[in-house]
Structure 1
Amino acid sequence: MIRTGEEYRQSIRDDREVWIDGERVKDVTAHPSFKPIVDVRARIYDLAHEPATAGVMSYVDPGTNEPNAIGLKLPESQQDWWDKRKAVDTVLNDIGGVVIRVGDETVGEMWSLYDGQDVLNEVDPQFARHIEAHIKKALHGDPFHVSANTDPKGDRSKRPQDQDPDMLLHLVKETDAGIVVRGAKYETAAAYANQAFVKPTIANWGDAELSDYALGFICDMGAPGIRHICRTGFAGRRPATDYPLANRFDEVDTLVIFDDVLIPWENVLFYRHTRAATFIRGTLHRYSAFPFVQRIEKIADMLIGAALFNVRQTGLDKQQAVQEKLAQLACYRETINAHLTASIALAEKSPAGLLMPNQSLLYTGRVQACSKLPEMIHIARELCGGQICVTPDSATFDAPGIAHWLAKYYSVNEDWVAEDRRRLLAFARDLINSDYAGHRLTFELFAQSPPFAHLAAVYRNFDFSGPLDFVRKAAGLSEKVMGKKKPH
């Protein structure tokens, strides 16, 4: 059944080995670097129980007659996608910010493997049964599920066998109980998640010698041999009054060490199977790209809101040059909205009979959302003005002896008094100018894969036959020029 926030907190108090700032964390639910984002994830669980939001966040499973989370539901209709979209918006509006790694955007990667059951059956039919079992477990057990993709990689000019083999996660040995694996993965939110879908990074999986690296499995994030080594967090560095986003929504990234970890056979989805590795890398984001891009749409809303408030308070919104920049932000936002909406309206049946967003529209929307984001942030920075980088902190605004000067010079009119203006400038600074803002931008650019892989996904999924046939007819070419193979 759907868990409560407190049940989630209790589930990660499992004595897992988590390190941050050189110290081992006793309780990730209470540590200042983790508590804010753990509380956000707990809030998402609780929204499914509150009368005002339960109908948006959950549905009743016809097989069990129990409520399950909308985000984990297998998508079988357009309405399922509208419901998922509404649920994500409900969460982001409730918490007042954007969080990405909270589970609904990663469970779709298992659906992609579910679509590849014929590939799994090439190795052993039990692996297809395993993925189906884990999808049901996610539906009914409601774990916080993340995705582990990126390895440290080492020297990329060399094969992993020609350097320290642990640079890519690999098989150590098979046992009666399961497989033993060693290596490491980078994964956001792993230190406070329940489980991860671990799969290969981008590589040339056609090389049979890499087969020990072609692994896919579900791993308990508190399992023996797992160590979480986290980057320094942003929460708690400075007061929340000055950095309202960094203190609430920092999703801590982790280097997950697999130190000879036993993966039980029932958790193994494929291993030593390069075709399965190739399949999952090629289809990994056919579902998960949707909630990921939807969150960038909400970031666009934040950019528009921060910029528009800043120009309105001083009357600059009357200037045509300012309106044009606001229109650029609006066009960016609506381009994302259009791709998301159209990908549902023109959704496609998957090989396993699920309904996946129109792949060409979804992937082109992701390219637009990610590639244009730095430019849109800079437009918002221009509109917010130079005061976001020169305004004193909240303690200075409250200091006796100087507070009246700041009240004088930061008050614009009766509608915009100094404290509101300070809050807006602090929000804008944390959104587009702070250390946290720089981190978030890098994350958005690489979170699902690097830009070249985004374009590769578009190339694989765009239907080139239409433009080719149009030009063939317009130019009077013979049908032979079309060939028998698709260009991709």
Structure 2
Amino acid sequence: MIRTGADYIESIRDGRAVYVGGEKVKDVASHPMFKPLVDIRARFYDMQHDPRTRHLMAYEEDGEWNGIGNKLPLTQGDWWDKRRATDTLLEEVGGVVTRVGDETVGEMWSLFDGQDVLNEVDPQFSANIRNHIQRVLKADPFHVSANTDPKGDRSKPPQDQDPDMLLHVVRETDAGIVVRGAKYETAAAYANQAFTKPTIANWGNAAYSDYAVGFICDLGSPGLKFICRTGFAGRAPADDYPLSNSFDEVDTLVIFDDVLIPWENVLFYRHTRAAMFIRATLHRYSAFAFVQRNLKLADMMIGAALFNARQTGLDKQQAVQEKLAQLAVYREGINAHLTAAIALSERSPGGLMMPNQSLLYTGRVLACSQLHEMMHIARELCGGQICVTPDKAAFDAPETKPWLDKFYTINSEWIADDRRKLLAFARDMLNSDYAGHRLTFQLFAQSPPFAHLAAVYRNFDWDGPLDFVRKAAGLSENVLGKVTRAPGDSAVSQWFNTTPPSRQAAE
């Protein structure tokens, strides 16, 4: 059943070897770099019990309560529930957190869809997948994702350099496989388990490889070491950098120093076709929650920019309105893709309900590829004061406070302290080290831009436009070969052809 926040905090006090700033961390839950996110994750667990939010965050089945985020999506309604739950989470804490579990557990559902492929390796692996999906539902662990390796020299195969540059199996035992290497895993230092899989895209002609391995890693396992980047929390006062101090999700290089993975945790092994399948479908579900975070980030930029413009009456100017409209178009573009992805959702090979893949992946490209431009527009609307405003200490000091009160108070509605808070929020969101980190993270967290476009290429209905032009231009059937999808067979066309006009208008 769902855990409490206290249950979660206790679960990560397992003696794991965590290092930050060159020092070993005694207690992850209380360390100042990790505590803000540990507390947020604990708060999410408690929201599943809180009578005020329980009906949004959890559901009852067979007399037990389970988290909405972990629920297998079987209907469109499940996706509306998941979207509402994520919005509730982010609004409750007042910011964007990405690696908290709901956006990574979806990778397991892609495995569920691929059981036929994985059965070619060993039927026990598909059983392991079902068991772990059930465990996520019932045990409610904090589940994260492990993808990226250090990689080394990418011009060489892993066998031609230090083999540990890519995670691989070094031997088999009766108890399981022993793996060695490293993975970058955001939030791993304070999570319970990670779905660990390869990033290699080109296996050549090899049918088998020791690098083609996927498993669930218990992050309290012996042999793991967590080397974390220095976090942003505590670097500067929270009053001046509210987002840096509250929402920094610490990234970790996880070292696998001959770590035993029990056979029941192995999800696929050695079969390169299985590895390629998983890479191709990995974000089939998880991209939804990822893109939803960009929608909330767009709301944050719009709110900060609009407040700033309204303070001084600049929102009356056409040039300012046009820039605000650009932010709104970006925001509503993401919103439209997410909404349509649910409305036109599709049955997956495993019988689950998956968001419309073409719409979901094009929405991801929109959200990520335009983010830097939208941040720049928001900077411009917030004005130069976000980079020149003194810190809170100057607003409080007796000798400087009167002057800052004078020059930062606009009217009776906008006093100096509120204006300082808004400018500090905007600066941290758009100009700080944390802001630069988040921009890069959003660009690469679910693979680099070329892979985003490759996902669109694999999922767009090319046959529809080709067949339309073939008929409109009077081309013969032979010009294009066999059209694999009949005209009107796309999810959009199906909806218009089968849904009564009255319902179309209502929807």
Task: Indicate the TM-score class for this superposition, using the shorter chain for normalisation.
Answer: over 0.9
Query: 1:126 aligns to what?
Result: 124
Question: SS where residue 123 of structure 1 aligns?
Answer: coil
Determine whether 1:77 maps to 2:91: no
Cα pair 2:207 2:272 within 8 Å, conserved: no
Q: CA deviation at 1:474?
A: 1.1
Query: 2:44 aligns to what?
Result: 44
Q: Give 1:328-477 correspondences, 5 Å limit.
A: 328-477=326-475
Determine whether 1:235 maps to 2:233: yes
Greater shift in the superposed pair: 90-99 or 200-209:
200-209
Cα pair 2:467 2:483 within 8 Å, conserved: no
RMSD: 1.0
Question: SS where residue 243 of structure 1 aligns?
Answer: coil
Cα pair 1:170 1:212 within 8 Å, conserved: yes
Cα pair 1:160 1:168 within 8 Å, conserved: yes
Cα pair 2:280 2:455 within 8 Å, conserved: yes
Q: Out of 216, 219, 222, which is 1:221 matched to?
A: 219
Q: CA deviation at 1:484?
A: 3.3
Matching residue's letter, 1:375: E
Structure 1 regions of 5+ residues with no counterpart? none
Q: Give 1:45-124 correspondences, 5 Å limit.
A: 45-62=45-62, 65-124=63-122
Q: Give 1:235-274 correspondences, 5 Å limit.
A: 235-274=233-272
Question: SS where residue 471 of structure 2 aligns?
Answer: helix
CA distance in 1 between counterparts of 2:110 and 2:399 reads 62
CA distance in 2 between counterparts of 1:13 and 1:481 reads 64
Q: CA deviation at 1:486?
A: 5.9
Matching residue's letter, 1:11: S
Cα pair 1:41 1:102 within 8 Å, conserved: yes
Matching residue's letter, 1:186: Y
Query: 1:32 aligns to what?
Result: 32
Greater shift in the superposed pair: 371-380 or 476-485:
476-485
Cα pair 1:308 1:326 within 8 Å, conserved: yes
Q: CA deviation at 1:280?
A: 0.4
Structure 1 segments (4+ residues) deviating >2 Å: 484-487
Question: SS where residue 323 of structure 1 aligns?
Answer: helix
Matching residue's letter, 2:13: R
Question: SS where residue 180 of structure 1 aligns?
Answer: strand
Cα pair 1:206 1:274 within 8 Å, conserved: no
CA distance in 2 between counterparts of 1:207 and 1:21 reads 43
Cα pair 2:463 2:483 within 8 Å, conserved: no
Question: SS where residue 272 of structure 1 aligns?
Answer: strand
Q: CA deviation at 1:205?
A: 2.6
Q: How many residues align?
A: 485
CA distance in 1 between counterparts of 2:266 and 2:151 reads 22
Q: CA deviation at 1:36?
A: 0.4
Q: CA deviation at 1:485?
A: 7.0
Q: CA deviation at 1:90?
A: 0.3
Cα pair 1:206 1:275 within 8 Å, conserved: no
1:231-262 Cα offsets, whole Å, 9 max, x none, are 00000111110000010000000000000000
Matching residue's letter, 2:167: L
Query: 2:496 aligns to what?
Result: none
Question: SS where residue 90 of structure 1 aligns?
Answer: helix
Cα pair 1:344 1:358 within 8 Å, conserved: yes
Cα pair 2:29 2:35 within 8 Å, conserved: yes
Query: 2:18 aligns to what?
Result: 18
Q: CA deviation at 1:483?
A: 1.4
Q: CA deviation at 1:208?
A: 1.4
Q: CA deviation at 1:481?
A: 1.7
Q: CA deviation at 1:482?
A: 2.2
Question: SS where residue 211 of structure 1 aligns?
Answer: strand
Matching residue's letter, 2:102: D
Question: SS where residue 184 of structure 1 aligns?
Answer: strand
C-alpha distance 187-289 of structure 1, shift in aligned 2 (>3 A): same
Q: Give 1:93-242 correspondences, 5 Å limit.
A: 93-208=91-206, 211-242=209-240
Q: CA deviation at 1:207?
A: 3.8
Query: 1:301 aligns to what?
Result: 299
Query: 1:6 aligns to what?
Result: 6
CA distance in 2 between counterparts of 1:240 and 1:319 reads 34
C-alpha distance 345-419 of structure 1, shift in aligned 2 (>3 A): same
CA distance in 1 between counterparts of 2:421 and 2:308 reads 11
Question: SS where residue 214 of structure 1 aligns?
Answer: strand
Cα pair 1:183 1:258 within 8 Å, conserved: yes
Q: CA deviation at 1:479?
A: 1.0
Question: SS where residue 170 of structure 2 aligns?
Answer: strand
Return the TM-score normalized by structure 2: 0.95
C-alpha distance 432-222 of structure 1, shift in aligned 2 (>3 A): same
CA distance in 2 between counterparts of 1:286 and 1:124 reads 23
Question: SS where residue 238 of structure 2 aligns?
Answer: coil
Q: CA deviation at 1:263?
A: 0.2
Matching residue's letter, 1:47: M
CA distance in 2 between counterparts of 1:269 and 1:447 reads 22
Q: CA deviation at 1:206?
A: 4.0
1:376-424 Cα offsets, whole Å, 9 max, x none, are 0000000000000000000011011111000000011111100000000
C-alpha distance 209-23 of structure 1, shift in aligned 2 (>3 A): farther
Q: CA deviation at 1:202?
A: 3.6
Matching residue's letter, 1:99: V
1:4-29 Cα offsets, whole Å, 9 max, x none, are 00000000000000000000001100
Structure 2 regions of 5+ residues with no counterpart? 486-507
Cα pair 2:207 2:273 within 8 Å, conserved: no
CA distance in 2 between counterparts of 1:71 and 1:395 reads 41
Matching residue's letter, 1:119: V
Return the TM-score normalized by structure 1: 0.98
CA distance in 2 between counterparts of 1:43 and 1:101 reads 14
